[in-house]
């Protein structure tokens, strides 16, 4: 018996083929539901089912009030385990890299002092652009405890990943990490560095990394919503 293919599956396959053939480009908005209904003589329900199916498969993503867009490649990170961006990208077969925008020892302000709960009057401030296969996916501002990472230098950070430096050069182990995240609208400067339009969603992540109950690292990251997903498994 030949199984009949549903109309929404046929439309989903048509849209996928247009993406794979480059007719619908990455990051580009696809035709509206109304236009798809008129072109393929389908009901609104059928069109929505096809789009929702492709959103679930991560071929497409929706932006409230803006439309439906072709997803660029997603990189998924679990929120249940401690991760390193470098290690995670390697595991997924990507080539990770970091562009250091600035690194300096700065006077700690009240806000950062409160977040890190340290007595030092200065902290290391590291700003980086994180890339996968040479494509920017995150803009990170990291504050590091100088009492635990004495004599940290730009030269050291350009030679190897930060977490490798901490674990191997300073022999420091991470006890735990706490991460908070929310949707944000990035500044124009960050949007430009991430090479994305203002229409695309971003996630802001605040990360606190602890060693022996002291905050070793506080990082605020802006992650491309069309590049990174964050997942949690409930058991």
State pTM to two decimals: 0.65
d(CA 103, CA 100): 7
Q: CA 57, 199, 94, 204 torsion: positive or negative?
A: negative
d(CA 42, CA 36): 8
Neighbours of 61 (CB within 10 A): 19
pLDDT (mean) for 136-165: 93
Neighbours of 141 (CB within 10 A): 16
Contact assessment for residue 213 and residue 174, using Cβ atoms and an 8 Å cutoff? no
pLDDT (mean) for 83-100: 79
Q: Is the pLDDT of residue 80 over 60?
A: no
Least confident residue range of 65-74, 116-125, 157-166, 211-220: 65-74
Domains and CATH numbers, the chain: 7-70 (1.10.10.10), 75-231 (3.40.1410.10)
- Local structure of 84: helix, strand or coil: coil
Beta-strand ranges (E) seen in 145-201 are 176-184
pLDDT band at 25 (very low <50, low <70, confident <90, very high): confident
* Those residues with Cβ within 8 angstroms of residue 55's Cβ, 6 or more apart along the chain or in another chain: 61, 62, 68
pLDDT band at 1 (very low <50, low <70, confident <90, very high): very low
pLDDT band at 202 (very low <50, low <70, confident <90, very high): confident
Convert the pLDDT of each residue in 162-201 to its tens digit: 988 998 999 998 888 888 888 888 888 998 898 887 666 6
- Local structure of 55: helix, strand or coil: helix
CA distances from 192 to 127, 139, 148, 186, 195 (A): 15, 11, 34, 10, 5
Tell how strand 75-78 and strand 228-231 pair up. parallel
Nearest of 161, 172, 120 to residue 143 by alpha carbon: 120
pLDDT (mean) for 201-223: 89
Q: How far apart are the first and last CA of the chain?
A: 40
d(CA 15, CA 93): 27
Range among 25-29, 54-58, 79-83, 152-156 rated most confident: 152-156
């Amino acid at each position: 018996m030949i199984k009949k293919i549903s109309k929404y599956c046929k439309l989903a396959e048509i849209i996928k083929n247009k993406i794979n053939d480059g007719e619908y480009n990455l990051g580009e908005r696809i035709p509206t539901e109304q236009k798809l209904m008129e072109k393929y003589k389908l009901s609104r329900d059928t069109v929505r089912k096809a789009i929702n199916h492709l959103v679930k498969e991560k071929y497409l993503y929706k932006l409230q009030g803006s439309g439906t867009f072709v997803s660029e490649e997603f990189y998924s990170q679990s929120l249940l385990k401690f991760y390193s961006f470098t290690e995670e990208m390697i595991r997924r077969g990507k080539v990770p890299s970091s562009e250091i925008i600035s690194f300096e020892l700065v006077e700690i302000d009240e806000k950062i002092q409160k977040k890190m709960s340290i007595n030092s009057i200065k902290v290391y401030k590291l700003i980086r652009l994180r890339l996968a296969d040479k494509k920017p996916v995150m803009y990170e501002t990291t504050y590091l405890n100088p009492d635990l990472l004495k004599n940290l230098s730009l030269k050291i950070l350009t030679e190897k990943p930060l977490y490798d430096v901490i674990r191997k050069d300073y022999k420091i182990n991470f006890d735990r990490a706490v991460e908070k995240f929310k949707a944000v609208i990035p500044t124009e400067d960050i949007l430009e560095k991430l090479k994305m339009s203002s229409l695309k969603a971003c996630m802001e992540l605040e990360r606190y990394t602890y060693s022996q109950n002291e905050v070793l690292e506080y990082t605020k990251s802006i992650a491309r919503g069309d590049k990174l997903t964050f997942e949690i498994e409930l058991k």
